[in-house]
Amino acid sequence: MSPPALTVTDLTMSYGELRAVDGVSFEVAEGEFVGILGPNGAGKTTTLEIAEGLREPDSGTVRLLGESPWPRNLALLPRIGVQLQASAFFEKLTAREQLETFGALYGVGSARVDEMLDLVGLSDKAGTPEAKLSGGQRQRLSIACALVHDPDVVFLDEPTAALDPQARRNLWDVLREIQARGKTIVYTTHYLDEAEVLCDRVAIMDQGRILAMDTPARLVRDLDAATHVTLERGALPADDARALPGADGVTQDEVSLTIATRAPAPLLTALAERGTLDGLQVRTATLEDVFLHLTGREYRA
């Protein structure tokens, strides 16, 4: 095993009274794709910025590619790529010129600039001033600027915020492609479903702490949560539903009847035999349930 690309140990960071980061430790292996999830103010950006070397933690250590990123480590900088949560651009430059300028800081030529514009789907906006791009286009440009020098470790702070569904999917492809080339990615997001499909592992963060960190599948499985089968109300009397094999509990509201089960197979078979599959929905546990379980609060991104 190669040494981890990133190790953070016991990070704490306070803004006055507020503990923005409160004892955070985790490791990211080389080539791994890790997501940090959590609601607004959870401390994701602060954690990321400490890892990048933008902020000095109050206590704790960071090893990034075997080195300390703080104080400013010039040898490390060419090997990391960062997209800040608020995009940072030079004034009055076009999309292409922004990329060229950032590229030149890393000694990257203009062929690579075209490649990057193409990668994020901005080739036709190359000559547009940055200020005239849409929010999502600006976001994509900011991501391109983070990737222009082909860094080994990529930090992205909410890269998919403000993107339309199409652009989001495209970005997923870009990120998967980068990972396939052996790069390490650490990113934050509010979209639990997105993290579930993209990430090797996710860290769930709330109030400055990491509550759990594992593969999405294992987090969900460890939750040992029931599967919920929902039928149209009236398709089946509630008492009949309670008697079905595998049914653990039944709840009803005005429009639907929901059966909780830990053995969905016999339950679904029984429902099929009774011919009551109309409008049937099966919902298994997701990261949202994990979040609810960990924090006792509904997840609101």
Ligand X SMILES: Nc1ncnc2c1ncn2[C@@H]1O[C@H](COP(=O)(O)OP(=O)(O)OP(=O)(O)O)[C@@H](O)[C@H]1O
Nearer to ligand X, 43 or 53 (CB): 43
Each residue 93-122 as x (binds another protein by CB under 8 A) or -, in order, gives x---x--xxxxxxxx---------------
Q: Is 160 in the site for Mg ion (CB under 5 A)?
A: no
Rounded CA gap, 200 and 32, in Å? 6
Rounded CA gap, 226 and 95, in Å? 49
Tell which positions 175-234 bind another protein, by CB under 8 A.
181-182
* Least distance between another protein and beta carbon 110 (Å): 11
Tell which positions 140-159 bind another protein, by CB under 8 A.
145, 150, 152
* Least distance between ligand X and beta carbon 232 (Å): 38
Nearer to Mg ion, 85 or 295 (CB): 85
CA distances in angstroms from 245 to 187, 230, 262, 263, listed in the order given:
43, 15, 11, 8
Residue least distant from ligand X (Cβ): 45
Q: Is 53 in the site for ligand X (CB under 6 A)?
A: no
Alpha helices in 199-274 (DSSP H): 216-223, 238-243, 264-274
Q: In what order do the strands lie in the sheet with 209-214?
A: 80-83, 153-157, 184-189, 33-37, 201-206, 209-214
Tell which positions 80-139 bind Mg ion, by CB under 5 A.
85
Q: Are 51 and 155 in contact (CB under 8 A)?
A: yes
Which of 37-45, 144-152, 210-218, 265-273 is the region at the interface with Mg ion (rule: CB under 5 A)? 37-45
Residue 256's DSSP bridge partners are 232
Each residue 41-80 as x (binds Mg ion by CB under 5 A) or -, in order, gives ---xx-----------------------------------
Q: Are 57 and 12 in contact (CB under 8 A)?
A: yes
Nearer to ligand X, 45 or 286 (CB): 45
Rounded CA gap, 94 and 16, in Å? 40
Q: Is 46 in the site for ligand X (CB under 6 A)?
A: yes
Q: Is 261 in the site for ligand X (CB under 6 A)?
A: no
Query: Which one-letter amino acid corresponds to residue 148?
Result: V
Q: Residue 249 is encoded by which pair of tokens?
A: 């509990």
Rounded CA gap, 280 and 88, in Å? 48
Query: Which one-letter amino acid corresponds to residue 49?
Result: E
Which of 43-51, 245-253, 267-275, 286-294 is the region at the interface with ligand X (rule: CB under 6 A)? 43-51
Nearer to Mg ion, 243 or 301 (CB): 301
Rounded CA gap, 102 and 285, in Å? 43
Rounded CA gap, 4 and 189, in Å? 22
Tell which positions 276-295 bind another protein, by CB under 8 A.
none
Q: Is 89 in the site for another protein (CB under 8 A)?
A: yes
Task: Name the residues that contact Mg ion, by CB under 5 A.
Answer: 44-45, 85
Task: Name the residues that contact ligand X, by CB under 6 A.
Answer: 15, 18, 20, 38, 40-46, 85
